[in-house]
């Protein structure tokens, strides 16, 4: 019998992993959800971030692989989406520093991200460059040797304008597309940096940033000048499968709520589950959720093994999982009826939460484009 390799975790979790996931769900329900409920909508919940740090979960962002990141995000999302989002945003904003930062940058910021005392943000999107990330207009104009001034806007930036630092992507070479973008670590107290919150469908901390000749130097560069697009895409390749894990966590919560409701609800002389139309919908919800979970785990395992098809797998995982979660939550609302539309109901909360992941970190249409590009490239290389 062949020895079991690491890729098997994409299909069957080990008992220790299952136990860890159960512990995370319990922590999310017992310790994190009460803090989340005390938070102010649309604002960074620093008490929640600090608790994630004290539990050691933020520190794991820098020591765990992609599969562990997915397990954390799925488990937290099941019981407390706010905790999941707070953890994910710390990871997204800090990963460019962890992966590409200098020793000085890492020493200054990563310990504070890990203990929850500093809030990170990933500043890529702009008013005219959302899905087309290579079309960035934020300008890094030369201001002497190894110095630049950042001028322009960023929009729909999670944790803005309250983050303590931003991984900012700006154009250093005009007309060069993706090859002329540089990543900078910009502390929030830099002169000329301003921001304002945005009122969104789901009340997460999201805002716009204004850059009025914000000074940066070579000491602020993440990676190499004009190679910042690689920093951005490398970060997204890691986090896209885990966006799928977030979606799977929400889908599983909606599925479990639906099982409980349809098993206990009296209707038409029996229980809702006795109606074939209902039971078949529940079966479809479970089928799609499990398929999405397996694809997410497989993409994460591929990332951890440094497989060559990570971009395609990551795109597939995010696409399938986020579209699946939208279907599952919507179906759960339908099967619950009007009660699920009441403010404060789990499904009312999930219905608002589930929509955004189909857009951020690459909309579903972008993921289909990535998949098609990777498929045709592989086909051409095989000829």
pLDDT value of position 34: 97
- pTM of full prediction above 0.85: yes
pLDDT tens-digit profile, the chain (383 residues): 333 344 444 468 889 999 999 999 999 999 999 999 999 999 999 999 999 999 999 999 999 899 999 999 999 999 999 999 999 999 999 999 999 999 999 999 999 999 999 999 999 999 987 767 678 999 999 999 999 999 999 999 999 999 999 999 999 999 888 899 999 999 999 999 999 999 988 888 999 999 999 999 999 999 999 999 999 999 988 998 999 999 999 999 999 999 999 999 998 999 999 999 999 999 999 999 999 999 999 999 999 999 999 999 999 999 999 999 999 999 999 999 999 999 999 999 999 999 999 998 889 999 999 999 999 999 989 88
For 357, what's the count of Cα atoms within 13 Å in the CB-facing half-sphere? 36
Alpha helices in the chain (DSSP H): 15-27, 33-38, 46-54, 66-79, 81-100, 103-115, 228-264, 276-304, 310-336, 346-353, 364-382
Q: Quick one: pLDDT at residue 4?
A: 38
Distance CA 187, CA 161 (A): 11
Which domains occur in the chain, in start order? 7-115 (1.10.540.10), 120-226 (2.40.110.10), 230-382 (1.20.140.10)
DSSP 236-271: HHHHHHHHHHHHHHHHHHHHHHHHHHHHH-EETTEE
Cα–Cα distances (Å) from 325 to 49, 59, 107, 246, 253, in that order, read 25, 28, 38, 9, 10
* Rounded distance between C-alpha atoms, residue 87 and residue 68, angstroms: 13
| Among 77, 59, 63, CA closest to 21 | 77
CB 244 within 8 A of CB 321: yes
Task: Specify whether 361 is catalytic.
Answer: yes
Assigned token pair, 204: 């997460």
Whether 212 contacts 80, CB under 8 Å? no
CB contact at 8 A, 42 and 85: no
Find the catalytic residue in 74, 82, 361, 374. 361
**211 token code pair:** 């850059």
Task: Return contacts of 46-54, CB within 8 angstroms, 24+ apart.
Answer: 46/116, 46/119, 48/82, 48/83, 48/86, 49/86, 49/90, 49/116, 49/119, 50/115, 50/116, 50/117, 51/116, 52/83, 52/86, 52/87, 52/90, 52/116, 53/114, 53/115, 53/116, 53/117, 54/115, 54/116
Residues with Cβ within 8 Å of 281's Cβ and at least 6 positions away in sequence, in order, are 331, 335
DSSP code at position 3: P
Tokens matching residue 57: 């979960």
């Amino acid at each position: 019998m062949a020895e079991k390799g690491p890729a098997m975790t994409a299909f069957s979790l080990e008992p220790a992993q299952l136990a860890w996931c159960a512990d995370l769900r319990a922590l999310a329900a017992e310790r994190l959800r009460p803090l989340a409920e005390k938070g102010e909508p649309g604002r960074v919940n620093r008490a929640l971030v600090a608790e994630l740090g004290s539990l050691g979960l933020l520190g794991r962002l820098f020591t765990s692989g992609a599969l562990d990141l997915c397990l954390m995000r799925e488990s937290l999302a099941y019981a407390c989406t706010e905790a999941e989002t707070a953890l994910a945003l710390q990871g997204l904003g800090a990963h460019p520093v962890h992966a590409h930062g200098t020793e000085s940058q890492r020493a200054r910021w990563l310990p504070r991200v890990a203990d929850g005392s500093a809030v990170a943000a990933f500043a890529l999107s702009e008013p005219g460059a959302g899905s087309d990330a290579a079309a960035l207009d934020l300008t890094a104009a030369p201001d002497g040797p190894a110095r630049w001034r950042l001028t322009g806007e960023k929009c729909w930036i999670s944790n803005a304008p309250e983050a303590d630092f931003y991984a900012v992507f700006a154009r250093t070479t005009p007309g060069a597309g993706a090859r002329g973008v540089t990543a900078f670590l910009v502390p929030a107290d830099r002169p000329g940096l301003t921001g304002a919150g945005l009122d969104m469908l789901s009340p997460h901390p999201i805002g716009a940033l204004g850059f009025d000749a914000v000074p940066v130097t070579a000491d602020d560069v993440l990676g190499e000048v004009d190679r910042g697009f690689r920093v951005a895409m490398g970060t997204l390749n890691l986090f896209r499968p885990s966006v799928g894990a977030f979606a799977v966590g929400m889908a599983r919560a909606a599925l479990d709520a639906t099982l409980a409701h349809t098993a206990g609800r009296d209707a038409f002389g029996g229980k809702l589950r006795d109606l074939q139309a209902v039971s078949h919908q529940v079966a479809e919800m479970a089928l799609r959720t499990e398929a999405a979970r397996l694809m997410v785990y497989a993409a994460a395992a591929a990332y951890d093994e440094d497989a060559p098809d990570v971009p395609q797998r990551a795109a597939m995982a995010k696409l399938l999982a986020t579209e699946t979660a939208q279907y599952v939550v919507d179906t759960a609302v339908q099967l619950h009826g009007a009660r699920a539309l009441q403010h404060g109901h789990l499904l009312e909360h999930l219905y608002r939460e589930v929509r955004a992941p189909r857009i951020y970190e690459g909309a579903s249409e972008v993921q289909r484009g990535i998949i098609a590009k990777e498929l045709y490239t592989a086909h051409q290389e095989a000829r």
